[in-house]
């Protein structure tokens, strides 16, 4: 795709970034910026504007360590602990969640079904965003896909919108296993404590005002206002709709690649095609989020567990 330079509305023209959109509805690569350097306010504002527009932005050839990754994240919000239940693998950097294909396999993670999800929606204030850094990347395989939940809502028919606009769903920290296997050590760690929260099925984005389809097949359990049978069918329909390829983008990783996504408006899926004998290690940080608000003005709330910050 031909590169183009965009200056965001209301910004100093000197802060224009080289932004290269990747698909029709989300995803853009940003070039010409060193994220390990001290970024000026105009550049930070430009990156944030691009994030709101494209929902997930990518950077190539970034020479960063854990300190620089955390410092970059702090320009956009409060960096949270690594995860509500999983232990941090880097004691000196408790904000970083290490996602390692070898470790996941040793703990039985290969038996977990990789489903579309928005990160940590089982807490009452899911992260605002996440920043993932490629550390060790296989020669091929291991791509990540994202989807745009704002466009997914927009493309629903009006009768379906009318039905779901006032509904709420329970999200919990469960892990879906393949073919009914027994719980793995990874799952036991993930479910070290029970965490459940209620969110609107349609949330209002706090910065853009967009309506977001806020359910996902990994963590959404059931719809409060419907019977379990009705809710299962409704959620199945929404999952099938939202994962339409038109709403997605795909990113090919390389060492030094960075992905920064708006966790309020996207879902993503973890790759399962790392070739045997190769390894994939990425480091993730998350930014503290707000409490979602539905179209009726009702705020999300916890059933078990507490806020994530």
One of 25, 83, 117, 283 is an active-site residue; which one? 117
Residue 13: how many CB atoms within 10 A of its CB? Answer: 8
Respond yes or no: is residue 119 known to be catalytic.
Answer: yes
Catalytic one among 119, 133, 171, 199?
Answer: 119
**φ, ψ (nearest 5 deg) of residue 229:** -65, -50
**Annotated catalytic residue 222:** no
Torsion angle, CA of 272/223/290/34, rounded to 10 degrees? 20
161 phi/psi in degrees, rounded to 5: -60, -45
Angle at 170 between CA 169 and CA 171, to 5 degrees: 115
**H helical segments located in the chain:** 41-54, 66-74, 101-106, 149-154, 158-164, 185-190, 228-242
The active-site residue out of 171, 264, 268, 283 is: 268
Tell me which DSSP letter residue 117 carries.
B
C-alpha–C-alpha distance, residues 102 and 109, integer Å? 9
Measure the CA–CA gap between 255 and 135, rounded to whole angstroms. Answer: 5
Q: Which of 104, 118, 66, 283 is nearest to 190 (CA)?
A: 104
User: φ and ψ at 52, to 5 degrees?
Assistant: -65, -35
User: Is 171 annotated in the active site?
Assistant: no
Residue that is written with structure tokens 């009705």 in the block:
230
Q: Which helix (H) or strand (E) holds 268?
A: strand 266-269
- The answer for 177, left when phi > 0, alpha when psi is -120 to 50, beta otherwise, is beta
Catalytic residues: 117, 119, 268, 284
């Amino acid at each position: 795709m031909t590169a183009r330079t965009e200056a965001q509305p209301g910004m100093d023209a000197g802060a224009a970034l080289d932004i290269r959109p990747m698909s029709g509805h989300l995803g853009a690569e940003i070039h010409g910026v060193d994220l390990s350097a001290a970024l000026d306010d105009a550049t930070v504002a430009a990156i944030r504007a691009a994030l709101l527009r494209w929902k997930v932005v990518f950077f190539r050839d970034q020479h960063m360590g854990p300190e620089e990754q955390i410092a970059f994240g702090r320009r956009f919000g409060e960096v949270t602990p690594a995860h509500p239940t999983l232990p941090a693998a880097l004691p000196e950097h408790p904000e970083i969640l290490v996602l390692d294909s070898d470790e996941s396999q040793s703990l039985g993670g290969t038996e977990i079904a990789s489903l579309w999800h928005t990160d940590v929606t089982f807490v009452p204030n899911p992260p605002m965003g996440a920043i993932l850094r490629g550390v060790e990347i296989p020669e091929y395989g291991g791509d990540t896909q994202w989807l745009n939940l704002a466009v997914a809502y927009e493309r629903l028919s009006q009768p379906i919108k009318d039905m779901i606009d006032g509904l709420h769903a329970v999200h919990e920290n469960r892990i879906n296993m393949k073919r009914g296997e027994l719980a793995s050590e990874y799952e036991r760690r993930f479910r070290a404590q029970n965490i459940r929260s209620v969110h609107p099925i349609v949330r209002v984005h706090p910065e853009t005002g967009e309506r977001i389809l806020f359910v996902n097949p990994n963590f959404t359990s059931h719809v409060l206002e419907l019977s379990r049978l009705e809710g299962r069918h409704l959620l199945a329909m929404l999952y099938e709709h939202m994962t339409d390829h038109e709403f997605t983008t795909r990113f090919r990783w390389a060492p030094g690649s960075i992905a920064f996504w708006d966790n309020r408006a996207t879902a993503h899926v973890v790759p399962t095609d790392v070739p045997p004998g190769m390894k994939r290690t990425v480091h993730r940080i998350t930014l503290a989020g707000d409490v979602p608000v539905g179209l009726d003005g009702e705020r999300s709330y916890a059933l078990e567990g507490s806020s994530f910050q």
